Amino acid sequence: MEQAPGAGPARIVGLVNGLSERVGRAMSWLTLAMVLVTFVVVILRYLFNIGWIAMQETVTWMHALVFMLGAAYTLQHDGHVRVDIFYRGASRRTKAWVDLLGTLLLLLPVCIYIGWFSWGYVANSWAVQEASQETGGLPGLYLLKSSMLVMAGLLILQGLAQALTSLLVLMGRAPAEDEGD
């Protein structure tokens, strides 16, 4: 059975978008958890004069994870900051060119840079099984630091999906459901 032109790349885009969607939705639930834990920290501190460093650090960790792991989801949904004075009114082909060039010349090099320079930082943290410097703080800080590498990887995948989508638009093979963009 013969595939339609662009079916392979469209399938890859669908898989990457699905991954970003699942991770992003998980991060939205983590945001709710962050609000609830912050509420508990405030209640314990101001009503009962009780403070737990680990619980306070949990909020910081969740906040970091929401931003680090939610970045690809935000990219997928075009939620990053952009000066779109010209982009907004541009044709679909022009937008595809801007997205393709932006991905290849800006996003991917920055993500590769982040991944490359984070590698040693994360590896050193794993080597010493780094934990919080605070007494009573959370162990496993190396796990949190690893999210830098995961973020770079997820953004690279989403960037490649965006580049493939742009190429499909430029070749006139974009999926029908994308026509409303």
pLDDT band at residue 181 using 50, 70 and 90 as cut-offs: very low
pLDDT band at residue 75 using 50, 70 and 90 as cut-offs: very high
Mean pLDDT of the chain: 90
The string of pLDDT tens digits covering residues 8-24 is 888 899 999 999 999 99
Which tops the pLDDT comparison, 88 or 58? Answer: 58
Measuring CA to CA, which residue among 79, 96, 71, 78 is closest to residue 153?
71
For the ranges 7-11, 136-140, 145-149, the one whose mean pLDDT is highest? 145-149
Decide if 181 is inside a domain: no
- Quick one: average pLDDT of 134-142? 93
Helix (H) or strand (E) holding 158: helix 141-170
Measuring CA to CA, which residue among 2, 28, 11, 46 is closest to residue 161?
11
CB-count exposure of residue 81 (10 Å: 0-12, 13-18, 19+): exposed
Q: Are 157 and 71 in contact (CB under 8 A)?
A: no
- Quick one: average pLDDT of 56-69? 96
Number of structural domains found in the chain: 1
Decide if 68 is inside a domain: yes
**pLDDT score at 58:** 96
Decide if 121 is inside a domain: yes
For residue 81, pLDDT beyond 80: no
For residue 84, pLDDT beyond 80: no
**pLDDT score at 85:** 78
Q: Are 9 and 164 in contact (CB under 8 A)?
A: yes
**pLDDT score at 179:** 45
Q: Are 103 and 162 in contact (CB under 8 A)?
A: yes
CA diameter of the chain: 69
- Quick one: average pLDDT of 164-171? 94
The string of pLDDT tens digits covering residues 150-160 is 999 999 999 99
**pLDDT score at 175:** 62
Decide if 2 is inside a domain: no
CB-count exposure of residue 106 (10 Å: 0-12, 13-18, 19+): exposed
pTM of the complete model beyond 0.85 = yes
Host domain of residue 110: 7-174
DSSP, collapsed to helix, strand or coil, labels residue 133 as coil
